[in-house]
Amino acid sequence: MNIDYIREDIPYYGNKIFLNSAGSSLMPSSVVEKINNYLQKEQEIGGYYLADSRLEEIADFYQQAAKLIGENPHNIAFTHDATDAYIKALTSIDFKPDDVIITTDDDYASNQIQFISIKKRFGIQVFRMKNLENGDLDTADFERLVEMYHPKLVAVSHVPTNSGLVQNAEAVGEICQREEIIYLVDACQSVGQFDVRVSELKCDFLSVTGRKFLRGPRGTGFLYVSDRMLNEGYAPLMIDGGGAIWKDENHYDVLPTAQRFETWEKPYALVVGLTEAFRYANELGMKNIETQNQILMNRLRDNLSNISEVTQYDQGSKKCNILTFRKEGLSLQTIKEKLEQNNVFFSVSNREWGVIDYKKKEIDGTIRLSPHYFNTLVEMDRVAEIIADI
Ligand SMILES: Cc1ncc(COP(=O)(O)O)c(C=O)c1O
């Protein structure tokens, strides 16, 4: 991986150390250029004329997204973010009282809020599978829950927002496929960070955002929908003229493809920008990105484990490029200020983003560092020096 070439694509990088790709990453120049050029053209001839003249470029969105996860273009829908994708998948399921959702302690906060909301409105039940001592999912416990409750839906966040845990979403998928249970994977933090194959996850829905490890623009995302869901007629409850055709007073037909999960209006400048981000990642190769990310992260984890007052809170047999830590005797605010003074970009992950996990860990938040392949080993050493000096 040619880091000089990659850094040339981030012209305003300067001397910062950017470790916030789990928040909102840095777009390559070509992504920004695509967006700007498209917007300029919209100003010139109007959005409708332009979209009609760019059908091929827009169709490439579906090709590139499909390539990224090893699937087909007809299984892809553009969405306005990962949560939009997730909500559309959820509303396509006809929940009845006493239906069961099985999820995990580490699923994303907004997903947990949505489950509580569905519970309130439809009287469903929510169960969470246990974790093993090391933080991995207890798949035997999951099998037990499946046998007991025959869930309508199983939902797993591949990587949570508030720790570097990689959940064994493949093992869960294996069981869901065998039992023919609808399986929804939140891949918001994993797609773009490491190689993710839907064929290995065996999921029915996969929600993804644009702005994080994929390095696309804010306000973009996509949803993967399996052929099984499409063939069985699953469609969002609040469907519009982009996903369905109004046939007569009381009837509409849904589109045959996953585009039935889209709304009619789209920010086309951002669609072509995100397409470019997909293309960029596909060209570098997700396997190469994954390898480079592991090299950087091993260095950062090793560096921080050499600082005795630092505790890293990431669990699991497989960890990724989200490192969460605290330093003994120091408030998060103090660490935050010191990192900011040294031009380090990062996030603070507060309690409300990981209520169950942070309760188990007996903390009220962490500092979250999330390096990506455009970072360097020198930066991994420098940030550790800064943290050691606080
Ligand atoms: C694991 C996870 N899922 C979902 C989301 C929501 O993504 P978006 O803000 O694009 O809807 C996030 C955002 O941080 C996340 O970390």
CA of 23 to the centre of ligand 1 (A): 9
Contacts of 218 (CB under 8 A, 6+ apart): 24, 210, 211
CA of 83 to the centre of ligand 1 (A): 6
Mean pLDDT of the chain: 98
Q: Are strands 100-104 and 76-79 parallel, antiparallel or unpaired?
A: unpaired
What is residue 263's predicted lDDT score, i.e. its pLDDT? 98
Cβ of residue 83 lying under 6 Å from some atom of ligand 1 = yes
pLDDT, average across residues 56-63: 98
pLDDT, average across residues 223-245: 98
Q: Helical H runs in the chain?
A: 3-8, 29-45, 47-53, 55-69, 82-91, 109-122, 139-149, 169-179, 198-201, 227-231, 268-284, 286-305, 332-341, 355-361, 377-389
What is residue 199's predicted lDDT score, i.e. its pLDDT? 98
Asked whether the beta carbons of 75 and 62 are under 8 A apart, the reply is no
Give the percent of the chain with pLDDT over 90: 100
Cβ of residue 160 lying under 6 Å from some atom of ligand 1 = yes
Asked whether the beta carbons of 175 and 139 are under 8 A apart, the reply is yes
Cβ of residue 189 lying under 6 Å from some atom of ligand 1 = yes
CA of 27 to the centre of ligand 1 (A): 18
Atom of ligand 1 nearest to the CA of 83: 11
All domains in the chain, ordered by first residue:
3-24+285-389 (3.90.1150.10), 29-283 (3.40.640.10)
Could you tell me what percentage of the chain is helix, strand and coil, using 3-state DSSP and rounding each to the nearest 5? 45, 20, 35
Specify the residue for token string 């294996």.
174
> Quick one: which of 164, 166, 148, 207 has its CA closest to 183?
207
- C-alpha span between 105 and 128 (Å, rounded): 6
Q: List, for residues 293-303, the tens digit of each pLDDT value.
A: 999 999 999 99
Cβ of residue 161 lying under 6 Å from some atom of ligand 1 = yes
Read off the DSSP letter of residue 253.
E
CA of 14 to the centre of ligand 1 (A): 28
Atom of ligand 1 nearest to the CA of 158: 1
Residue nearest to atom 16 of ligand 1 (CA): 161
What is residue 272's predicted lDDT score, i.e. its pLDDT? 98
Asked whether the beta carbons of 279 and 214 are under 8 A apart, the reply is no
Q: List, for residues 171-190, the tens digit of each pLDDT value.
A: 999 999 999 999 999 999 99
Most distant CA pair in the chain, distance: 70
Go through 217-243 and write b for each residue having 16 or more CB atoms within 10 A of its CB, e for each that does not. bebbbbbbbbeebbeeebbbeebeebb
- C-alpha span between 210 and 271 (Å, rounded): 10
Rounded to 5°, the CA angle 238-256-261 comes to 30
Cβ of residue 106 lying under 6 Å from some atom of ligand 1 = no
CA of 218 to the centre of ligand 1 (A): 12
What is residue 264's predicted lDDT score, i.e. its pLDDT? 98
Q: Does the structure show a pLDDT above 90 at 1?
A: no
Cβ of residue 162 lying under 6 Å from some atom of ligand 1 = no
Atom of ligand 1 nearest to the CA of 160: 1
Q: What distances in angstroms separate CA 150 from CA 31, 183, 185, one per listed residue?
A: 45, 13, 18
- C-alpha span between 206 and 190 (Å, rounded): 11
> Quick one: which of 15, 2, 369 has its CA closest to 162?
369
- C-alpha span between 193 and 9 (Å, rounded): 18
Task: Collapse the DSSP code of 65 into the 3-class scheme (helix H, G, I; strand E, B; otherwise coil) and give the result.
Answer: helix
Task: Collapse the DSSP code of 306 into the 3-class scheme (helix H, G, I; strand E, B; otherwise coil) and give the result.
Answer: coil
Cβ of residue 108 lying under 6 Å from some atom of ligand 1 = yes
What is residue 327's predicted lDDT score, i.e. its pLDDT? 98
- DSSP lists the bridge partners of residue 224 as 76, 206
Cβ of residue 221 lying under 6 Å from some atom of ligand 1 = yes
pLDDT, average across residues 105-134: 98
- C-alpha span between 341 and 138 (Å, rounded): 42
Cβ of residue 353 lying under 6 Å from some atom of ligand 1 = no
Name the residue of 87, 104, 110 whose CB sits within 8 Å of the most ligand 1 atoms, as the mutation to test its pocket: 110
CA of 80 to the centre of ligand 1 (A): 12
Q: List, for residues 204-225, the tens digit of each pLDDT value.
A: 999 999 999 999 999 999 999 9
